[in-house]
Amino acid sequence: MPVGTLANVKTVTPAQLKDCEAQMVLANTYHLHIQPGEDLVAEAGGLHKFMNWHGPILTDSGGFQVFSLSEIREINDQGVSFRSPRDGRLIYLSPEKSIEIQNKLGADVIMAFDECAPYPATREVVDQASIRTTKWLERCFQAHQRAGDQALFPIVQGGVFLDLRQRSARELSGFDAVGYAIGGVSVGEPPELIEKIVRSTTPLLPEHKPRYLMGIGTHREMVQAVAAGVDLFDCVIPTRLARHGAVLTTTESDRLHLGDNESRRWNIKNAKYRTDFTPIDSTCPCYTCQNFSRAYLNHLFKSQEVLGFTLIAIHNITELIRFTQRMRDAIFNNCFVEEFGHFLTETPSLDQFK
């Protein structure tokens, strides 16, 4: 899911997203509450009309941003008080308030308000956050006023402590939600810990319901998560990298000489692309690769033209979506391990792909 934090995927229009074959986008409760406010979005007819995106939308609860971006004034079992990073005003978020905001925003999938413990953190701190997340979930379901048209996903927490993760997954599975999310990863942990967390937690969530790993978006991370049973991902990587001129590719020719570093990331600003009149990826069907050369993209960045951000964002989003499509096809064709096993540190059981 491309990330459209403030009701827009940076530098890319909804029509361009559709052409990239994006099926769903993500927006953020925390940021939209601060600007422009959920009441204005509701007055506009909800997020779909406000941002002119007619596909599914998921809104994060704001929990991660509260704990990662804000100057927290107070946190207790009732909720969190913090200063807005935009204007310094005091804001209060509770499970009830987060759900109220998301009900007004009108996304198709909304997330439960959770406490995301930082990394590193002591076991005591993580344990308390995990317990509070489960208690807050009960209140989220009680406050949810649009269960008929908005799916509420719980969020598994537990930090890097596998037993706390497993306890959280089992507790949340008891709520019989439409889908489930794994949060609190990609907050500073080394990659091997993320893989271990996902591999041990995902199988404990109902396999017949969507399982969503939050904040993940590299090729390797997605393969490892799919091998564990994850279905949904979101990440700012494709657009954030694009604004720095970084291009994502995973062509077969790349794999032949990159060895273990299959996810190739290179900078279009490099001098060698000044006279390179080939597309980023000759096998890519995106608007950028079908119409523009590396030399032209190099020129746009050297000239500080914003169009360069858009064109590389279109390619990067298309690249990651095509990559997930390849994984899906490999699962249907019973060849996932053969196609993507080189991304894995541990070979999964073939039974889970049947």
pLDDT in tens, 179-212: 999 999 988 889 889 999 999 999 999 999 999 9
338 found inside a domain: no
Pick from 17-26, 96-105, 262-271, 285-294: least confident: 262-271
d(CA 213, CA 230): 7
7 found inside a domain: no
141 shares a domain with 251? no
d(CA 101, CA 81): 16
In this prediction, residue 353 carries a pLDDT of 45
d(CA 54, CA 71): 35
273 found inside a domain: yes
251 shares a domain with 140? no
- State pTM to two decimals: 0.93
Pick from 186-190, 303-307, 339-343: least confident: 186-190
182 shares a domain with 61? yes
Range list of β-strands (E), the chain: 25-28, 57-60, 71-75, 80-83, 90-93, 109-111, 151-153, 155-156, 180-182, 211-213, 232-233, 246-249, 264-267
In this prediction, residue 251 carries a pLDDT of 67
187 shares a domain with 282? no
Pick from 55-69, 156-170, 247-261, 319-333: least confident: 247-261
247 touches 298 (CB < 8 A): no
Q: Domain boundary at 199, 219, 235, which? A: 235
79-89, pLDDT tens digit by residue? 999 888 888 88
266 found inside a domain: yes
303 shares a domain with 219? no
The residues annotated with a catalytic role in the active site are 60, 234
**Nearest of 224, 217, 199, 222 to residue 341 by alpha carbon:** 224
341 found inside a domain: no
Q: Domain boundary at 208, 235, 262, which? A: 235
301 shares a domain with 177? no
230 shares a domain with 209? yes
Domain count, the chain: 2
- The torsion angles phi and psi of 244, rounded to 5 degrees, stand at -110, 5
Q: Which residue has the tokens 């951000």?
A: 309
What domain range includes position 217?
14-235
Cβ neighbors of 41 (< 8 A, separation 6 or more) are 7, 32, 47, 50, 104, 105, 106
Residue 207's CB: how many other CB atoms inside 10 A? 11
111-141, pLDDT tens digit by residue? 999 999 889 999 999 999 999 999 999 999 9
4 found inside a domain: no
